[in-house]
Chains A and B, each alone.
Chain A
């Protein structure tokens, strides 16, 4: 079975090509609202089975990471041009700038190799809007963490690469 670190959220907005640096957790959740579409034309027998249709689909991506400062060693500026498949890191500071009404392009990808920063096959992709960003510090030496929610905007496209 694949490990969680082998699936990463890749942001491809504004020509950026970054995964979340110091990422820990990631969840893609898709949900469809259904309604019982039986009518008065249905059987008069008590206790018949409901028949459902989908009325709306929605989804979100929740992610968590550690708060970091400095330059990501795999940032696009420092990536070896000979290895463009190695992707840079998106920090908490970068996420703050992404809280807007402008949709963000995202991809859920398999990754491998050093630091799990080499892009593999695409699971799915789409657009989303950052709807929540929460950071936490503590009165101890525990790492400061942050989490965010990207609400899926307009649909999810299955990878074909």
Chain B
């Protein structure tokens, strides 16, 4: 079966099992940390990278800025508890229903960066960044 393209609005982040509502964009980053393991035995002149560890993070921009959302995010930021964060293809009403796509993953994460921007005459912009902790599955 041919691959079907997923639209940006259907690629969404879920936090604490709920779709992050009214977001304008989101991004996930999975990074492998490499170190050059080449030795004096190496003859090619190129580095020989070895993956020492991996990390992941999720960012969601311009989420819903209601009182309940803002309070909830600050409470989560203040807590040492980790939150289940993941991503999935969505569909259904308001593109909020998880479709269990093949690329869907989730894991435990820390809300480590939160910005609330309230500029005159502009929509309030809230950006959250989650630092993944441990494996995604």
A interface residue numbers (CB < 8 A to B): 1-8, 23-34, 36, 38, 46-54, 57, 108, 110, 121, 123-124, 155-156, 158-159
Contact = CB atoms under 8 A, between A and B. Distances in A.
Interface in B63-83: 64-67, 70-71, 74-75, 77-78, 80
A26 B119 contact: yes
B112 A25 contact: no
B65 A23 contact: no
B74 to A, nearest CB: 5
Nearest to A47: B51
Contact of A123 (B50, B67, B120): B67
Contacts of B118: 4-8, 25-27
A158 B78 contact: yes
Contact of B78 (A53, A110, A155, A159): A155
A124 B122 CA distance: 21
Nearest to B72: A158
Given A7-B118, A158-B71, A34 B124 contact: no
A123 B116 CA distance: 11
A29 B64 CA distance: 17
Contacts of A29: 113-116
B110 A46 contact: no
Contacts of A121: 67
Contact of A158 (B75, B121, B135, B136): B75
Interface residues of B, number: 42
Given A3-B121, A49-B55, A32 B112 contact: yes
A51 B134 contact: yes
B91 interface: no
Main secondary structure of the interface of A (DSSP, over half): strand
Contacts, number: 134
Max chain A C-beta neighbours (<10 A), residue from B75, B77, B135: B77
Given A24-B119, A29-B114, A51-B133, A46 B70 contact: no
Given A51-B133, A121-B67, A6 B124 contact: yes
A33 B120 CA distance: 30
A124 B74 contact: yes
B53 A4 contact: no
Contact of A110 (B53, B67, B111, B117): B67
A123 B70 contact: yes
A2 B124 contact: yes
A7 B116 contact: yes
21 contacts: A1-B22, A1-B123, A3-B122, A4-B117, A5-B118, A23-B120, A26-B119, A27-B115, A27-B116, A31-B112, A31-B114, A32-B113, A32-B131, A38-B53, A49-B56, A50-B134, A51-B134, A54-B112, A57-B78, A124-B74, A156-B77
